[in-house]
Amino acid sequence: SRYLTVAMGQLGPIQRADSRASVVARLCAMMREAKALGAQLIVYPELALTTFFPRWYIEDPQELHAFYETTMPNADTQPLFDLARELGIGFYLGYAELAQEADGLHQYNTSILVNQQAEIIAKYRKVHVPGHSEHEPWRRFQHLEKRYFESGPGFGVTEAFGGVMGMALCNDRRWAETYRVLALQRCEMVFIGYNTPVHNAPAPQHDDLSLFHNQLSLQAGAYQNGMWVVGVAKGGLEEGVDSIGGSCIVAPSGEVISRCITKDDEVQVARCDLDWCAIYKRTTFDFDLHRRPHAYGLITAK
């Protein structure tokens, strides 16, 4: 057995006026709780440092960039890294990244994986950026991720915490390709932070099914790839917009073995045996034995 005790650090709402310092204090409180519960790492949500700002049409670049991080760690997040080192606990954190690259400034919806020595060992940039890129005033609220974030290059894995770890973000969890591309790299556990409004403007019929679709996506991805899946929400009422909670940890069998039951800051843990992945990766989902790539060509078609 290769046990890994994982904590979900689910966040309740972050209002626009909430300072990063106040949010980091909440994250630190949950990190201490996770440590007390025996966790080796804690998984935080997507965009965990600020309110979900893509709900607004923001024209002023300076106002928009105030929601991004230009360095990581930085003055606001250093206390989280310091506490992680002190407690010897790793973490996954989602945030908006402003990246200075050779060809200029880029905006990503990013997550990092930090080890038990508080070193950043992996960075991921959201591939499936949902929503829309132009102001659509007909909506109760916007979902301008396509305006505010570029799509990242792809899905990678990192050997850490005794196994093969992967990262994804929010809408990625709805796409079967996310899990399969990770599983083809031997991924045993994937961390997925999310912010999911209850109301889905283009298809309000889905609203009552938002928690069901969340869990269905996580369970399917886990079972069909013999992977542990850790989905962690930022939920509750942010600036008048209600988002789902529903954080849960799914075993390679597809069974939910731990879940949060509020829409606030809540820590729940699960003791995950990474060896359970083999029960599926060596049988039903033995890719070498059973996959038929010759029939899958269309999957990568545009």
Chain residues that interact with ligand ING, rule: CB under 6 A: 130, 170-171, 174, 194-196, 200
Smallest gap from residue 194 Cβ to ligand ING (A): 5
Q: Which 3 state secondary structure label does DSSP give 25?
A: helix
Nearer to ligand ING, 90 or 246 (CB): 246
Smallest gap from residue 200 Cβ to ligand ING (A): 4
Smallest gap from residue 119 Cβ to ligand ING (A): 27
Smallest gap from residue 27 Cβ to ligand ING (A): 19
Of 16, 27, 11, 10, give the one whose Cα is nearest residue 240.
Answer: 16
Nearer to ligand ING, 83 or 218 (CB): 218
Nearer to ligand ING, 20 or 55 (CB): 55
Cα–Cα distance, 257 to 243 (Å, whole number): 22
Nearer to ligand ING, 162 or 204 (CB): 204
Catalytic residue among 126, 234, 263, 281: 126
Q: For residue 174, what are the CA distances in angstroms to 30, 141, 168, 231?
A: 27, 21, 11, 12
Q: Which 3 state secondary structure label does DSSP give 127?
A: coil
Nearer to ligand ING, 46 or 69 (CB): 46
Residue ranges with strand state E in the chain: 3-10, 41-43, 90-101, 104-114, 120-125, 157-160, 163-169, 189-194, 228-233, 236-238, 241-243, 248-250, 256-259, 266-273
Smallest gap from residue 241 Cβ to ligand ING (A): 11
Task: Mark whether 126 is an active-site residue.
Answer: yes
Catalytic residue among 33, 35, 46, 69: 46
Nearer to ligand ING, 170 or 248 (CB): 170
Smallest gap from residue 53 Cβ to ligand ING (A): 11
Catalytic residue among 170, 248, 272, 277: 170
Cα–Cα distance, 230 to 147 (Å, whole number): 27
Running DSSP on this structure, what letter comes out for residue 170?
G
Number of C-beta neighbours around residue 63 at 10 A: 11
Cβ atoms of 126 and 172 within 8 Å: the answer is: yes
Q: For residue 56, what are the CA distances in angstroms to 41, 59, 253, 294?
A: 33, 9, 39, 44
Cα–Cα distance, 108 to 185 (Å, whole number): 23
Active site residues: 46, 126, 170
